[in-house]
Amino acid sequence: MKKAMTLALGILTSVGGFFDVGNIATTAQAGASFRFQLIWSLLLATLLVIFLVEMSGRFAAVSGKALPDAIREHFGFTFWLVPFAVLTLIHLLTLGAEIGGMCFALHLVTGIPVWVWAPVVAILTWLFLWRSTFSTIENSTSLLGLLTLAFVVAALLHHPPTGEVVAGMLPSLPHHDPEKYWFIAVSILGAVIAPYLFYFYSSGAVEDDWDPSYIAVNRGVALIGMGFGSVISLGAIVVAAMVLAPRGIEVSDYHQAALMLTDAFPFWGFALFAAAMGIACLGAALEVALSMAYTTAQTFGWNWGEDLNPREDARFCLVYTGAILLSALLIMFGVDPLKLTLLTMAINAAALPFVVIPFLLLMNDGKLLREHKNGWLSNAVILFIVILSFVLAVVSIPLAIRGGS
């Protein structure tokens, strides 16, 4: 019964927590500029993230260890330093993007400049982390995040052309702006396969005391939760394709994306968009700040755990405090939230090999995982991810300079 509850809650929180600022920015751009043509990149990214999340949960359930902890112990501190440095950069940039998203949501409804909201949002995020337990954070923001299902409802209300949507599921070459097309494709991959996500997931599984009996639950959460979560992103692409694209509105600023839901919900659409954006970004900001604290504490062998009293893991709390402060400063100093988001997604994509390769090596360790080590299918998918990551790393930078400008 407890496991069934865990599965149900896990699926709900995965669905609610799937959508974040990177997904909002990239799916709105994809739909507005290329209608349904980039759905394939979302599907590919979803498939890969299901595998990664399943593996990180399986690893934590079997070994009782989170990924950074295990990689450091297994391969040594020096080996782990490069992935750790890359993860730290990604955490800070992603946290900045999420804080920027929350600030923008508040800017949309109040008109008060984005940078003014940065300290308020930073304090709110910090207070939430300081006062809450892991399960409160995991469940409350993710359940509120179900508000993002508004994109799915809106997509259905627009009655999109089924043939075109299905055609978009297969990769195709763009009819215009090829550099922009590939940049958005890369950004979608970077947004969905966020490296912090599977590192955070393994720490969360340890916080929730998973053991090998949770492997089936983990599989269900990864497959159903992430699968349905991506339906929200698909909904956002469809809405942008049905509302923004026919009007010639491309998204170079969140103001343009904010109009997406106003056709489907004339009176609530604008408020729904702002609320969905704010809540999705709050949930993701909490996860990213925690993930950074987990990774750092596990790297240096400090006490860690969101359920501990801050007195018992002061350095863990200090890390998320510093991370929130630094990331909020980016927004306070006037960095454009959308540009920061897109840059971060490109860097996410470029960074994947650094964080996936140690993970792959660990997942094939028979001593550690016994009969639960990776099978050929998992290995093939991971190998695919590593090659794809390398290609993305080479392509995403020039595309970011040219297409994302």
Partner 1 sequence: MGTIAAIAAAAVLFLSCQQQTPEQELIRKTDAVGPWLAALQMAGEKWTVNSVPATFVHTSVDAAQKAFTKAARETGRSDARTDLRDHLGRLIAGGQAESARLRRAVAAQDRRAAVPAIRGLAALHADFEALSKAFEEPSQ
User: Is 182 a binder of partner 1 (CB under 8 A)?
Assistant: yes
User: Is 267 a binder of partner 1 (CB under 8 A)?
Assistant: yes
Q: Is 49 exposed, middle or buried (0-12, 13-18, 19+ CB in 10 A)?
A: buried
Query: CA 44 to CA 38: how far, in whole Å?
Result: 10
CB nearer partner 1, residue 110 or residue 303 = 110
Binding mask 370-389 for partner 1 (x = CB under 8 A): --------------x--xx-
Give the number of C-alpha atoms closer than 13 A to the C-alpha of residue 28, restricted to the C-beta side.
27
User: Is 35 a binder of partner 1 (CB under 8 A)?
Assistant: no
CB nearer partner 1, residue 32 or residue 237 = 32
User: Is 110 a binder of partner 1 (CB under 8 A)?
Assistant: yes
Nearest to 227 by CA among 50, 44, 23, 12: 50
Nearest to 93 by CA among 402, 400, 403: 400
User: Is 365 a binder of partner 1 (CB under 8 A)?
Assistant: no
CB nearer partner 1, residue 73 or residue 263 = 263
User: Is 395 a binder of partner 1 (CB under 8 A)?
Assistant: yes
- How many C-beta atoms surround the C-beta of residue 237 within 10 A? 31
Give the number of C-alpha atoms closer than 13 A to the C-alpha of residue 29, restricted to the C-beta side.
28
Query: CA 29 to CA 240: how far, in whole Å?
Result: 8
Whole-number minimum distance, CB 20 to partner 1, in Å? 22
User: Is 334 a binder of partner 1 (CB under 8 A)?
Assistant: no
45 close to 175: Cβ distance less than 8 angstroms: no
CB nearer partner 1, residue 27 or residue 256 = 256
User: Is 107 a binder of partner 1 (CB under 8 A)?
Assistant: yes
User: Is 172 a binder of partner 1 (CB under 8 A)?
Assistant: no
Q: Is 169 exposed, middle or buried (0-12, 13-18, 19+ CB in 10 A)?
A: middle
Rg (CA), the chain: 20
295 close to 322: Cβ distance less than 8 angstroms: no
* Among residues 94, 256, 327, 348, the one that binds partner 1 under rule CB under 8 A: 256
* Among residues 270, 302, 318, 326, the one that binds partner 1 under rule CB under 8 A: 270
Whole-number minimum distance, CB 30 to partner 1, in Å? 14
194 close to 22: Cβ distance less than 8 angstroms: yes
* Among residues 49, 108, 239, 332, the one that binds partner 1 under rule CB under 8 A: 108
User: Is 75 a binder of partner 1 (CB under 8 A)?
Assistant: no
User: Is 164 a binder of partner 1 (CB under 8 A)?
Assistant: no
Residues near partner 1 (CB under 8 A) are 32, 107-111, 171, 173-176, 178-179, 182, 247-253, 255-256, 258-259, 262, 266-267, 269-270, 384, 387-388, 391-392, 394-395, 398-399, 402
